[in-house]
Amino acid sequence: MKRRHGEDRMISGKLRGKAARSGAALATVRVDGAELAWHRRHGGLVEGSRAQVESFSVSLTPGRSRELVLDVTRRAPSDWSSPSERVVAAMLDAGIRSALAAGWDPESRGRAFRHEFAFDSGVGED
């Protein structure tokens, strides 16, 4: 039987996006001495509210350790812009620490650990 997708395209049983499987270096963030690879999965505005949602995939080694799917909700800035690099870094740091406290073990294996996190960035500071 012919396989439709290569192993490098699968993570947690789902196809990874092109950016994550292209072989390009992933962005990293350092939390408590551990360097974690991450990429943005998707994001957007919640219709009818002043909320913005961003989703990130985080892991020690993509495809080799337990993935964290971090869903971050924050109050949208008045200009409805995407978060700055500084805000993304702060969201990732706070969200990863929250996920660790909630039981995510990045060195374990298994299906993705999904964690929802509300972030207050002090919107006027974007």
SS3 content of the chain, % helix, strand, coil (to 5): 20, 35, 40
- For 62, phi then psi, to 5°, come to -55, 130
On whether residue 16 sits in a domain, the answer given is no
On whether residue 22 sits in a domain, the answer given is no
On whether residue 3 sits in a domain, the answer given is no
> What is the chain's alpha carbon radius of gyration, rounded to the nearest angstrom?
15
Query: What does the pLDDT look like over 85-125, one tens digit per residue?
Result: 888 899 999 999 999 999 999 998 889 999 999 998 654 44
Q: Which residue has the tokens 């994001």?
A: 43
> What range defines the domain where residue 82 resides?
29-121
Residue 19: DSSP 8-state = H
Residue 45 has pLDDT above 50, yes or no: yes
On whether residue 92 sits in a domain, the answer given is yes
On whether residue 85 sits in a domain, the answer given is yes
Q: Predicted confidence band at 12 (pLDDT cuts at 50, 70, 90)?
A: low
Work out how many domains the chain is built from and give that number: 1
- For 48, phi then psi, to 5°, come to 85, 5
Which of the pair, 98 or 50, is modelled with greater confidence?
Answer: 98
On whether residue 7 sits in a domain, the answer given is no
Neighbour-count burial of 86, counting CB atoms closer than 10 A to its CB (0-12 exposed, 13-18 middle, 19+ buried):
exposed
